[in-house]
Structure 1
């Protein structure tokens, strides 16, 4: 196995990496700018802030329900590089809508601005639905089997580093700067996407099913009967359910519990992003290119332990004086700040170690002409799990009045369920000898 970072020198990998990096950066820059603006400049109520974040999350997930099956079929029946170019061209128009919404909200046209921003979130969900299967499914087509885990890890690490960059930028630039930046990055991403080498269809032509309900059902049925794929998809889905809860809870928690401003909120999310990237690289090194769930149970149990610790730290946090929010300097001077950031980093590192090998399962245990549909089936199930997570957050926070600190304990319990699923996956792999060695 070549050093995973050496893949960045490869013509068959670098353009894809840059394209997905810029896409993740842009998506996160826009969404974080929107959420921070709504949290700190529009709403002044923790429940309303959590509800808006949950609504935005649900809208962004909806396309995965309806269009993942079609996206997987198209990716397996057409040149994946051509689809990338079409999707990246569409991103320019989507960001024009989103940038207009940001400016309208900034100018005082709150309802119109929020409507356009949420509309852009929906369109970005469609964009991600069609790009998501490709960024993983194209790897076995462009890389040797020994390099797929390394490539998957780099894609995952790059995604979270892009989230880091987008989050930091969103917290520090004004809304006007965010609106201009998302448009510029969309154009650069389109140019990078044009450099991705061809990845034509492999296998016989497919007859496309345009009915979202029957297509999704057939897609999942064709995948979930395979034990190792069923368990991998279930484990990934629980992970993203956990992720959706954390994404919804974090901004209100930072504002109302840690009593910190939007720059600190972006920094907290950035630390989480760095941790997932680090975990992605660590697990590739530990497994030495072998696609295995060996360390997944321990990783997600560790994640749950650190989530509980974070909840304890939040409960014992000394709040800022009433009516004040801590800036970055004041936050870092707080006696509990380093412990909070270190715990968040540990949550993210263990999360990255858990999920990366599971994505590699999806693309290496099926034929190459089925990889995009397998990833798409995973996306449908993930979307369902994340939607359930958003609904649970709405019910617990609005209906039962559960605090952000207690929502973290719900997350910790979900980590235990993920560990059980991952342990079953590891046992199935041992029986079927399905884990792929490097050699």
Structure 2
């Protein structure tokens, strides 16, 4: 089986491990920080939702600001060297974040220094991921055979979400002081792993890098729009991640204020979502048998919207008269309805994984190898803009007084929009490729 064989190859395994550790550490840090602030510092639902949204926006903002430069660097320089440099910087930025966590844990300068320091580190983690983002997919056609790219993409996507899953579980269950140690240790191991990634030099002519953020970003979007199929894939991915942003922002406050459950239950929601994405990423490779196609994308995203509606309806059935301490995981699972909620969340994310993996494979197989990083960078920039839009939408819905459960429904309309774009993509996926420059 191609998928399992890739995990034994040096041309893939070090990259896979490095990306897995990067996603693990980002989510270990982000989840530990958000849950600590939501449960140990704030006691107001609006403040908790706002903080969760601000944290998400800060992590995403670098993708909007720096993706164009990141894409140029990845196409013009050795991708493996960039990965090693970025992973070395991670050790420093995570040190800043853990100092903030330590101060907050000790109750020292919480609002004046600890929280700003934690948010700064989260922003820098977003910068790190911005420079890794174009590489983790664009390097695959350089190291893998054509028939292995979809399997490799699915493995990277599944590994990313399993890492998110593990980081989220651990952040929700271990004390913050243990999280501090683990965050720093993971950064060190991630750098060591990156040193084993084989060289991936520039494939085409090395051009000057445009360091003007605005000009290079606009040029990147204009280039992506030249190929209609690529642009449809980018828009489909972007709206999908906007839906994901809205859901992830709502999980902690929804668990606390609607389900009346502990932070471990909030973690469990994110866990189920991550498991489903990983499952969907593997399923689609089996369905398509290595072919890069959007044939299942329209139906899968409609299914995602359907399960979101079910999730909302079941949340509305949750008992509203719970008082006292928050429900622990065993107490939450004692309710039969809890298992239904978790199952529906799983189906939402399985549909999401089936939808998104082939679209990323499109981006790296449709363009020439020397343009792949910039194609991914354009996707990251546009999808991150949509995700920030999702965070802003969540804050706006909170501001106007829309209940948390009702806010989840906003993503259903976005699923329908994504399905429309995916249908157009599938209808035109075999059209000749336009030049991307």
Q: Normalised by the shorter chain, which TM-score bucket?
A: over 0.9
What do residues 348-407 of structure 1 show as CA deviations (whole Å, max 9, x unaligned)? 100000000000011010000000011001111011111111111111111x11112111
CA distance in structure 2 between the partners assigned to 1:321 and 1:352 by the alignment: 35
Q: Do structure 1's residue 8 and structure 2's residue 7 form an aligned pair?
A: yes
**Residue number in structure 2 paired with 1:285:** 286
Q: Which moved more, 1:403-412 or 1:316-325?
A: 316-325
**Residue number in structure 2 paired with 1:437:** none
Q: State the TM-score, normalizing by the size of structure 2.
A: 0.97
State how 1:237-256 maps to structure 2 within 5 Å. Answer: 237-256=238-257
**Residue number in structure 1 paired with 2:385:** 384
Q: Which runs of 4+ in 1 moved over 2 A?
A: 430-434
What do residues 298-334 of structure 1 show as CA deviations (whole Å, max 9, x unaligned)? 0000000000000001110114632321101101101
Q: Do structure 1's residue 56 and structure 2's residue 55 form an aligned pair?
A: yes
SS in 1 for 2:107: coil
**Are the aligned partners of 2:366 and 2:433 in contact in 1 as well (CA < 8 Å)?**
no
State how 1:38-57 maps to structure 2 within 5 Å. Answer: 38-57=37-56
CA distance in structure 2 between the partners assigned to 1:222 and 1:315 by the alignment: 45
**Residue number in structure 1 paired with 2:412:** 412
**Are the aligned partners of 2:227 and 2:433 in contact in 1 as well (CA < 8 Å)?**
no
SS in 1 for 2:429: helix
CA distance in structure 2 between the partners assigned to 1:226 and 1:183 by the alignment: 42
SS in 1 for 2:410: helix
Deviation of 1:262 after TM superposition, in Å, equals: 0.7
Deviation of 1:206 after TM superposition, in Å, equals: 1.2
CA distance in structure 2 between the partners assigned to 1:384 and 1:313 by the alignment: 31
CA distance in structure 2 between the partners assigned to 1:320 and 1:126 by the alignment: 43
Q: Do structure 1's residue 71 and structure 2's residue 99 form an aligned pair?
A: no
**Residue number in structure 1 paired with 2:348:** 347
Deviation of 1:5 after TM superposition, in Å, equals: 2.1
Deviation of 1:408 after TM superposition, in Å, equals: 1.4
**Are the aligned partners of 1:259 and 1:320 in contact in 2 as well (CA < 8 Å)?**
no
For this pair of structures, how many residues does the alignment match? Answer: 432
CA distance in structure 2 between the partners assigned to 1:281 and 1:385 by the alignment: 26
**Residue number in structure 2 paired with 1:19:** 18
SS in 2 for 1:336: helix
What do residues 285-307 of structure 1 show as CA deviations (whole Å, max 9, x unaligned)? 00000000000000000000000
**Residue number in structure 1 paired with 2:117:** 116
What do residues 228-257 of structure 1 show as CA deviations (whole Å, max 9, x unaligned)? 001000000001101111111111001111
**Residue number in structure 2 paired with 1:105:** 104
**Residue number in structure 2 paired with 1:147:** 148
Q: Residue 225 and residue 433 in structure 1: after superposition, are their counterparts in 2 closer, same or farther (change >3 A)?
A: closer
What do residues 390-429 of structure 1 show as CA deviations (whole Å, max 9, x unaligned)? 111111111x111121111111111011000000000011
CA distance in structure 2 between the partners assigned to 1:59 and 1:172 by the alignment: 25
CA distance in structure 2 between the partners assigned to 1:327 and 1:65 by the alignment: 38
SS in 2 for 1:9: coil
State how 1:246-285 maps to structure 2 within 5 Å. Answer: 246-285=247-286
Deviation of 1:430 after TM superposition, in Å, equals: 4.2
CA distance in structure 2 between the partners assigned to 1:172 and 1:66 by the alignment: 34
What do residues 50-101 of structure 1 show as CA deviations (whole Å, max 9, x unaligned)? 1001111111111111111110000000000000000000010011001000
* Gaps in structure 1 of 5+ consecutive residues: 435-439
SS in 1 for 2:209: coil
Deviation of 1:431 after TM superposition, in Å, equals: 4.6
**Residue number in structure 1 paired with 2:157:** 156
Q: Residue 315 and residue 208 in structure 1: after superposition, are their counterparts in 2 closer, same or farther (change >3 A)?
A: same
Root mean square deviation of aligned Cα: 1.1
SS in 1 for 2:203: coil
**Are the aligned partners of 1:274 and 1:345 in contact in 2 as well (CA < 8 Å)?**
yes
**Are the aligned partners of 2:224 and 2:378 in contact in 1 as well (CA < 8 Å)?**
yes
State how 1:31-42 maps to structure 2 within 5 Å. Answer: 31-42=30-41
**Residue number in structure 2 paired with 1:294:** 295
**Residue number in structure 2 paired with 1:211:** 212
**Are the aligned partners of 1:307 and 1:412 in contact in 2 as well (CA < 8 Å)?**
yes
Deviation of 1:273 after TM superposition, in Å, equals: 0.4
SS in 2 for 1:294: coil
Q: Which moved more, 1:62-71 or 1:118-127?
A: 62-71
**Are the aligned partners of 1:106 and 1:175 in contact in 2 as well (CA < 8 Å)?**
yes
**Are the aligned partners of 2:58 and 2:122 in contact in 1 as well (CA < 8 Å)?**
yes
**Are the aligned partners of 2:148 and 2:290 in contact in 1 as well (CA < 8 Å)?**
yes
